[in-house]
Structure 1
């Protein structure tokens, strides 16, 4: 159960809530997408709309101008029998349990979650099972002609000009993220591995069999180092980043997050360091300048080094960022490209 926090981000709900109330709320929660209907194919194959500099997309057979996105929405609003194109609801299966911290049940739940989360991360979709690969290919193909946004080129297939239509748009070739298999969890990657090693022991990490099987000089690789670098000294962090950068193929990527002390009073920094040191290990919170120094020589990708709550790599303008919660330690996050060998 989550609630909206002061940073406009989900946080744990602290209020008691009866199970029946939670079921009722889930059943009453839904989201509707009011887009024009996309169930009747108008243009397909070689019979596709053509671009006209004056009018936009037109029917090649009749010369009729296709309705614009705004005109299609106006028609939808005037139809009293219209229904939303998509309706999203919670599933019918719910398993809600109350667990108290420090009890055997809590320990069992944590072990269960860790087991299956790491199991899912460590399993590769690309195996010897051809039926699995065929199934993934079908899943990747299914949304090919589904409109993903008002600006999706697939609207031409259903006789509607996309929002902001321009020359060169073709149904089935939308460049939106929804149509990219690797962004929908369907990428047929060579392998995904989780390395369980002390990040301060760089040699142990590099010699780990799990890592050696996936990080190769001729294979693009993505390395995730979330909440790791703030448990390392400057020397250890530079050594780890350099070692990871030297192994994968050029243009490989590393995503990371680092705790920061910026904006916090000294006593809060000391308290956070004390708590983490007692429960996890020695911790060092860094400023933005110190983090950039650690990444010297790495090619930072957009949007650069930003707070995690402000992460928006797509650059979407309609995302509103709330003010930072000054009472909570923050994380800087970024994406760096390994464009050249570590020197």
Structure 2
């Protein structure tokens, strides 16, 4: 009934790996080694060393370009000079609201900025930027809580989210992230609702050389239970369980995901140790509604915000921090395997303003 996709040796350049077979290709013959010095012309024509890969900070700044452009261009006029007065505060309110920070976060930031201006005796509009930046850092700082996986083996992570949020892709990137820490990972293909979800997760498993527990069709809870048993038997460090994408209004599907949680607890009483909701940054303020609905149904312990590079709505992080400050474990700013990283408040705010 169950199909086990067992871990295979990491593919070499001479090996082509498919889900079911390993077909060796003819190995290339090593090039002859000559002790004769290369001609000077050949040395001079050697291509330059490839440019270093951009740092995460640089990639984050690039990924947040749309949000920064929308926010920064409007703020530039405010911070250009002149005095700090009520007209300036009104303009700042409009800028924050149009950056998808939401009404609650905007009112909080305005109140806090006013207090900072009064406390420091600021007079010039150019001084307002630092006050706003400090206020924003203080607001979203509670979200910066890196995921700690020690203390449980296996450490079980259950992921939820609506279709299209990037849930399955995030699972593949998380697997790579934990592997880079020297941990063994097992994936549970619990999304039995969406066509091709199982195959997509299997592809990520092949890419990362990670075991995937899957089932041709049937009950998501059964797949996750089987994955828990396999992880215990194999001494796996991290289990990441996929679940079917669903809208909070789909009550029957929300009941199903609650069942998955209960079944996981039957296999491992203190699991899942982490319940993460994956959010698409493109939906802006609707992300807050999703956070509230899934939190009430499952008791969320963390969030992943994806696709920040494709939207100007990155300000929603401030809205989440104000209305439902659930730890933001990771943010995604691209399609690359390394483009999902732990959330850093300072890096995020610096990328927005600088």
Answer 1 or 2: higher relative contact order, Cα 8 Å, separation at least 6. Answer: 2
Between Structure 1 and Structure 2, the one with more helix by share is 2
Check whether TM > 0.5: no
> TM-score category by the smaller chain?
under 0.3
Q: TM-score, normalised by structure 2?
A: 0.25
- If the length of structure 1 is used for normalisation, what is the TM-score? 0.26
